[in-house]
Amino acid sequence: MLSKKVLVILVIIMALVLGGGVFLYFRSKPAVELPGSELINPDFTKEEQSQPETKEKLKEYVDEAGFSFSYPETLSIKEVANQDSQTYSALEVFLAKNPTEKLTIKVTDTANKDINEWVTKNRQTDWQVNEAVLAQMNGKLVKSGSKIILAAIKQEILFIIEAPNDSSGYWLKQINTIAQNFSLNLPTPKSSGQSTQSDIEEIIE
């Protein structure tokens, strides 16, 4: 009877040892990547997430027409001369390595009473129009197949920022950066609520 008990105990011990060996063997094998799956390194992911987000350094541009803005230092600005008498400022903002692709800023007189009227008169079939803000002015952000326009009107002055609608979204990002840092220094309207041509011309004198 005693020998049977000893035999049973030996069998149990051998089973435990064999099971433990099999468990350790399979645990030590490398993971097999299934077709179409990707193994993610948790340490790499954490390291990437801990990297601080780099921000572009900005420079400030101050225009005699009564506005200013900040823009990435990787861009250059050129003032466009020989404008008509209704234009107070015309600028080109571009990358030095590719000056043909550029963002433009234009400030002109307008006969439109507000930005909604401007959109109604200039709207094209492929325009997608959304609400926007430029220097606390109610504006419109227009997207078409070829360009992006941010426009706003104040005191009968039209402000337009226009850029290519590129697939990478680079120029939309530049418009957002300039719009977030855009500020005005326009003359205060007279008590009647209407500005005169002489008020506006004071900006560029």
Residue ranges and CATH numbers for the domains of the chain are 58-201 (3.40.1000.10)
**Burial track 77-103 (b if 16+ CB lie within 10 A, e otherwise):** beeeeeeeeebbbbbebbbeeeeeebb
138: helix, coil or strand? strand
Average pLDDT of the chain is: 79
User: Quick check: pTM over 0.85?
Assistant: no
pLDDT of residue 184: 94
pLDDT of residue 24: 59
For residues 20 and 55, which has the higher predicted lDDT (pLDDT)?
Answer: 55
Residues 143/151, Cβ–Cβ less than 8 Å:
no
193: left (phi over 0), alpha (psi -120 to 50) or beta: left
Q: How confident is the model at residue 41 (pLDDT cuts 50, 70, 90)?
A: very low
Q: Give the CB-side neighbour count of residue 162, counting CA atoms within 13 A.
A: 11
Q: In this structure, what are the phi and psi dihedrals at residue 188, rounded to the nearest 5 degrees? A: -75, 130
Burial class (CB in 10 A: 0-12, 13-18, 19+), 44: exposed
pLDDT of residue 189: 54
Residue range 103-142, pLDDT digits in tens: 999 999 999 999 999 999 999 999 999 999 999 999 999 9
pLDDT of residue 19: 66
